[in-house]
Amino acid sequence: MTLGSAAGRRLSTARMLMSQTQGSKMKKQRESQCTQKTISLLSPLGTIQVSGCENGVHTIQILMDVAPAERSSGAPLSCVVNDSPAETSPELQRCVEWLQAYFSEPQTAGSLPLPAFHHPALQGDAFTSRVLQVLLKDVKFGDTVSYKRLAEMAGNPRAARAVGGAMRRNPIPLLVPCHRVISSSGQSGPYMSGKGDHLKQWLLTHERQRGEG
């Protein structure tokens, strides 16, 4: 290898890194320029806040402000809008309709269109994005998958720990069902960094019971 070719490769690498950095900055700038609105729902898990812009949903937050609702056999579960701006985007409205169906008529949720997502964690080809997209597409209502198996499905069998990190960074829980990812031993594993383990158990039971119904 000549000095000239080595220098050329270093220059090419530097340009590629600069391009990636600029692309990342532009993405963050576009994200910060979004005008987000938030809809608040009263659900069986307590208050859920859905935030997004015209381009799609940014985040879903489960506030854990009350204990999860107790179930009575066959009784419908409600999920109602508690607070909403005067005007919301079609994508936010689509997300609200999906959540309402998930709790009240879960057998119909799978046939509803999902909203667009507009959060960096769900864009591009980074491992976190790949894992979340595979989870969304391939792990259906009532099913579960281990961290190890999800790593294999996302193309990196040795990345079970990284899958756990991706679950912690999931900005859109429920729609991107990180509650369906469990340990290889069959234990449910942590949810919302361990603070929402009881919610994970509730969701898995909800899906199992409603799926049987």
pLDDT for 28 equals: 54
Residue 33 has pLDDT above 80, yes or no: no
Residues 6+ apart with CB under 8 A from 183: 146, 147, 189
pTM of the model: 0.81
Give the pLDDT confidence of 92-133 residue by residue, as tens digits: 999 999 999 999 988 888 889 999 999 999 988 899 999 999
**Neighbour order of strands in the sheet with 80-83:** 56-62, 46-53, 37-43, 80-83
Residue 78 has pLDDT above 50, yes or no: yes
Angle 100-104-108 from CA coordinates, rounded to 5°:
80
pLDDT for 20 equals: 45
Residue 19 has pLDDT above 50, yes or no: no
Domains in the chain, CATH or no CATH each: 37-209 (1.10.10.10)
Residue 4 has pLDDT above 60, yes or no: no
Q: Give the alpha-carbon dihedral of 104, 107, 108, 113, to 10 degrees.
A: 110
Query: Catalytic residue at 95?
Result: no
Please tell me which residue in 53, 79, 95, 178 is annotated as part of the active site.
178
Task: Please name the amino acid found at residue 98.
Answer: W
Residues 6+ apart with CB under 8 A from 151: 131, 157, 158, 159, 160, 162, 163
Q: Which of 1-10, 18-27, 162-171 comes out lowest in average pLDDT?
A: 18-27
Q: What is the mean pLDDT of residues 41-68?
A: 95
